[in-house]
Structure 1
């Protein structure tokens, strides 16, 4: 996603050099779509806002973490979705009875709890690291095949093949 005169990679290089205008440009370029995608996964506006802010703080602190492989947008999405999960985990777990009746857990929270503590957690942990990474990127992080390929540094066809193998193993696991 390049809309200004500098590429995303060029902006990251400038951020590494301490250029705050580069961070503002990267933010203006990517924050709107990141926020929209995060909102599709979580109804808690505060958690989404925190995740978005934390994403760009992480970029400011460590722009060199981007290794140049894949799209910067996919790298940013990976950071953003992990920050959203962290924001949801930081929320207080203990609710009063009244609050529980008013605030049903979102689908995102239910899935995250199932992934972290349920049968799905064990099944995912039994997948090979290569298969688990593809499931994480495409299913949990919501990346497209192309974005996952860029993030993982593998061809899109490999992402599809690994996802097919992961599905087959998970079907066997839950059959």
Structure 2
């Protein structure tokens, strides 16, 4: 559906990209690349890594390895965010990622008390975080995946999961409590 100025919608652009239309790809890139860079830089201070991740995300769109399903209520921006955030997580998991992350956290938090992120990293190293996550119910695990791992807001997670925002908050609280008890 085109807007009043005749600009193609995001869904129309994606359909054209699937047919190999480079102009549609360029339009989608111009529409969302800067936005995605800004959002990912809130998650990672390494600007060159974020730039690489954004390029990889759009390359996945161009190659068709990332498919937009276009379900009711689906949002192209949210879909691109999920692609980018997952690629960022994959990049951070690479060689030396934990050291880079701890270094960035140390520069941001001059206090002596370890941050929540540092405690999670220590739990990954010394605890059974993967097992504790696996023991969560599917509903709680889905909320943790959306809000913590994918970095979505409560509202975005609610849309993604098809549940009210209040339910997302309640399930996140229950999941955190259960994880704290198991990892203590």
Q: TM-score range by the shorter chain?
A: 0.7 to 0.9
The answer for the alignment partner of 1:16 in structure 2 is 18
Selected match of 1:144 from 137, 147, 153: 153
Counterparts of 1:118-133 in structure 2, within 5 Å, are 118-133=127-142
* Larger helix proportion of the pair: 1
Q: Cα deviations across residues 53-72 of structure 1 (Å, max 9, x unaligned)? A: 01001111227721113211
The answer for the alignment partner of 2:28 in structure 1 is 26
The answer for the alignment partner of 1:73 in structure 2 is 77
The answer for the alignment partner of 2:175 in structure 1 is 166
TM-score norm. by structure 1 comes to: 0.77
Q: 1:135 to 1:40 in 2, by over 3 A?
A: same
TM-score norm. by structure 2 comes to: 0.74
Selected match of 2:103 from 102, 105, 109: 105
The answer for the alignment partner of 2:93 in structure 1 is 89
State the distance in 1 between where 2:77 and 2:92 align: 22
Task: Report the CA distance between 1:173 and its aligned residue.
Answer: 2.6
State the distance in 2 between where 1:106 and 1:162 align: 30
Q: Cα deviations across residues 28-84 of structure 1 (Å, max 9, x unaligned)? A: 111112111111111112211111001001111227721113211111111101111
The number of residues matched between the two structures is: 166
Over the residues paired in the alignment, what is the CA RMSD in angstroms?
A: 3.2
State the distance in 2 between where 1:58 and 1:111 align: 33
* Structure 1 unaligned regions, length at least 5: 95-99
SS at structure 2 position matched to 1:65:
coil
